[in-house]
Amino acid sequence: MRKIWIAGIVLIAVALIVFTSLNATEYAANEAPIKIGGAFALSGFASQWGEAELNAAGMAIEETNAKGGIDGRKIEMITENIESDSVKSIIAVSKLIHVDKIDVIIGPSWLDSFGGAAPLADENEVLMITPSASITAVKKEKNYGYVFSTWYRADVEIKELARHLSGKRIVLFFGNDPFWEDISQNIKKNSDEFELKILGEYKFNSKETDFRTALIKIKETNPDAIVFGLNDERGILSFLQQRQVLYPDSVLYTTESIEEFLSKDDFKALMENMRILSPKIVENDFSDRYKERFGTEPVFSASNAYDATMILIEAMKAGNMDAESIRDYIANNEFSTVTFGNVRFDEIGGISGGEFVIKRVKNGTVEVIA
């Protein structure tokens, strides 16, 4: 009897240990932070965009954590720097996936330009929501099912530019880059409808800085406008300096990414009278909250990063914690955003919302002209 009694006590003790261990494990799982990835251009020529995206994504997480997180669990973002480079983007995303075991990633920045990371989403069933990439450029070759973008549709944006330039004689002047190639193709698609006459197209590699021959040839054709876009800061500065000498009367059009250079002394005078196609800023308190938190105005893509993060958080709050269920939730629901208002994602994971304006640089600042 004594042996039976001792054995019973041992069994009860073992059961208590197992029960306590299971409860502790369950408690730890319920209290552990929810980890998401962030892949942003924190150095290199896209760094001003990437830093703003990191700030805005972090702000969305801070606000959510201050309200109790997701079912009492805090959100933690593991961040990697893609260094404004396609190879480094692949390395950063691979590290998040294989080392940090991340299922969802905000970013990468400029996934259209650094597109090598996009296939990793489908290959590893990891969700990516990029805040600063044209979805039509990202998915030009393949519709990656795990990739979404909260940036503006380039085809919609460029149609507005073509409408504004209706009937004009233009020259296309772009860097050899997937984003600018997408812009160029969309201008050509709209040329017949808006009676645009394209007098010539010039393409340049990312490190080129001598544009004098091209500018001389363009001057001979005397276009109504040059539509240009380059990524590298040195290249942009060289182009504007050489244009100022060789063809100062030319009318320049470009997109919103140029606005970041207005804060730099070397660029201000060179950008005078430049026309900029730009998203129309939605009137809400996001800019004020961002400025209060970080002490500076948000550049374009900050609000898009905030929206991408909040969309992901909403999907998780609805009980979707793995990449596949989050993907399905995002694809099939409507979201309230600070950038677009109420939106849905389309069949290729993009957002068709948003309005656009034409701005002109005057005395170092921008004014809306159309």
- Asked whether residue 116 falls in the same domain as residue 10, the answer is no
Average pLDDT over the chain, rounded to an integer: 91
Residue 247 domain-assigned? yes
Q: Give the percent of the chain with pLDDT over 90.
A: 83
Mean per-residue pLDDT, 238-242: 98
In a domain, 229, yes or no: yes
Tell whether 186 and 300 lie within a shared domain. Answer: no
Quick one: pLDDT at residue 13?
Answer: 47
Mean pLDDT in residue range 209-237: 96
Looking at the structure, tell me whether residues 74 and 166 fall in a common domain. Answer: no
37 shares a domain with 27: no
Tens digits of per-residue pLDDT, 295-317? 998 988 999 999 999 999 999 99
Domain annotation covers residue 129: yes
Task: Judge whether 262 lies within some domain.
Answer: yes
Residue pLDDT, tens place only, 118-169 = 999 999 999 999 999 999 999 988 899 999 999 999 999 999 999 999 999 9
pLDDT of 300:
85
Q: How confident is the model at residue 4 (pLDDT cuts 50, 70, 90)?
A: low
Considering the domain boundaries, does residue 350 fall inside one?
no
Residues 336-350 pLDDT 10s: 999 999 999 999 999
Q: What is the mean pLDDT of residues 258-270?
A: 91
Strands 169-175 and 197-204 come out as: parallel
Average pLDDT over residues 32-50: 95
Beta carbons of 206 and 212 less than 8 angstroms apart: no
**Shared-domain flag, residues 167 and 272:** yes
Residue 351 belongs to some domain of the structure: no
Domain extent at residue 104: 33-152+282-343
Residue 18, pLDDT score: 45
Q: What values do phi and psi take at 253, rounded to 5?
A: -125, 140
pLDDT band at 5 (very low <50, low <70, confident <90, very high): low
* Residues 218 and 116 reside in one and the same domain: no
Q: Per-residue confidence at 25, pLDDT binned at 50, 70, 90?
A: very low
176: domain CATH number is: 3.40.50.2300
- If you write DSSP's letter for every residue of 302-363 in order, what string do you get? HHHHHHHHHHHHHHHHTT--SHHHHHHHHHT--EEETTTEEE---TTS-B----EEEEEEET
Whether 164 and 250 map to the same domain: the answer is yes
Distance separating alpha carbons of residues 229 and 273, to the nearest angstrom: 16
What's the angle, vertex CA 283, arms to CA 277 and CA 289, rounded to 5? 110
pLDDT of residue 1: 52
User: Which pLDDT does position 16 carry in this prediction?
Assistant: 47
Q: How confident is the model at residue 22 (pLDDT cuts 50, 70, 90)?
A: very low
Confidence class of residue 99 from pLDDT cuts 50, 70 and 90? Answer: very high
Q: Which amino acid is at 281?
A: I
Whether residue 135 is contained in a domain is answered as: yes
Distance CA 108, CA 41 (A): 8
Is 63 in the same domain as 133? yes
Number of domains in the chain: 3
Q: Assess whether pLDDT exceeds 50 at residue 23.
A: no
- Same domain flag for 57 and 82: yes
Do 320 and 205 share a structural domain? no
Could you tell me if 135 and 179 are in contact, meaning their C-beta atoms sit under 8 angstroms apart? Answer: no
Regarding whether 159 and 123 lie in a shared domain, the answer is no
Same domain, 52 and 24: no
- Residue at 189 is within a domain: yes
